[in-house]
Homo-oligomer: A and B are copies of this chain.
Amino acid sequence: MDAHELDTPCLLLDLDAVEHNIAAMMASLAGTGVALRPHFKTPKCPQVARLQLEAGAIGITVAKLGEAEVLADAGLGPILMANQVVGRTKIDRLMALLARGVDITVAVESEFNVRELAEGARRSGQRPAAVIEVDAGMSRCGTSTPAETVALARMLAGEGIGYRGIMGYEGHMYAQPEEEPRRQLIEAALGAVNRHAEALAEAGLPPGIVSTSGSASTAIASQTPGITELQAGTYIFHDSHHEAFTPGIFRYALTLLTTVITVRDRYAVCDTGMKSLSNDHGPSFSRDGTFKAARLSEEHAHLTGPGIAALGPGQKVELVPSHGDTTLNLHDVYHVVRNGQVVDEWPILGARKFK
């Protein structure tokens, strides 16, 4: 079936592009000694995580317990949850995963987290494992000083919680549009992570895992001594926002298929909007770049640009999301495509698993 015969709006996943992106990422890490534990928050789909593991990923990173549960059900891992588990309900869900034999490590950043984990361990008889999240300059979660990090590592050991290492994420680099200042910012962030790692080593608690970085800083992070693994996620499908940061390396694998409703002199309107396409990183573009989704209402997009002259009502068009992660979170299935033909359908089982 031709992919453009599908009802709209829906997501198309180009399998050739996915395979290219996996190969390109593994090639960029080859010989660096830095491993990849790709982030599940982008694909949210076990079939994709399996391809990543088969290509050499050492495990999968998740943001939420709900995503970890999806992976556990699919028998995929080991799992690193790059986020804190907070509140008794979630702590008990973590212990239930451990009781199933799932290899999962979670992040802690405070005595509060360690105490909740330790209480959960006592309640359940499980032995959780943790990495310490350090603040690499993003001002979100994470310990502020190496001394805090060392204190937490000691607390983990004292509470009988497995101590696996540290993680830090330099997400604030996306706010820096220029390449050279951005490089300096990434290097400063990774330097900060390494200072925490060195303090731990000096305290006799060398971190096994030093995990950092998304797709856009892979080139720098993979050349930084001390970093053991990366959490890159977006590279798998790529999106137009990331193309600005990693030009020419990855291909657009994910597009949103939409139907034109009407065409006017200066714009066309199609049947996707904020309820099926995100625009938190700006407008989506047509594959050939000749028009963009300039304005979204809830169920409509205004298309503008020279390419609209060739459009007519009823026509199907593909848009490259500016932010794949938040767009696919609105959908339940990938229509998997090779050479424009639908070859499979993969459920996005992790979509909206935000608990």
A residues adjacent to B (C-beta < 8 A): 7-10, 41, 63-64, 83-84, 86-87, 89-90, 109-110, 112-113, 116, 139-141, 171, 259-262, 264, 267, 269, 271-276, 278-280, 297-300, 302, 312-314, 316, 325-326, 329-332, 352, 354-355
Contacts and interface: CB of A to CB of B under 8 A. Distances in A.
A276 B325 CA distance: 12
A259 B140 contact: no
The 8 closest A-B pairs by CB, nearest first: A276-B354, A7-B89, A112-B313, A63-B299, A275-B329, A275-B354, A87-B259, A86-B261
Nearest to A276: B354
Instruction: Among A8, A86, A300, A330, find the residue whose CB has the most chain B CB atoms closer than 10 A.
Output: A86
B86 A271 contact: yes
A312 B110 CA distance: 12
Given A64-B299, A84-B262, A274-B326, 6 more contacts: A7-B90, A8-B355, A110-B262, A112-B312, A116-B314, A329-B330
B140 A269 contact: yes
Chain A residues touching B, majority SS: loop
19 contacts: A8-B87, A9-B354, A63-B299, A64-B299, A86-B261, A86-B271, A87-B259, A87-B314, A110-B313, A139-B264, A140-B269, A140-B302, A171-B297, A275-B325, A275-B326, A275-B354, A298-B325, A331-B352, A332-B352
A299 B41 contact: yes
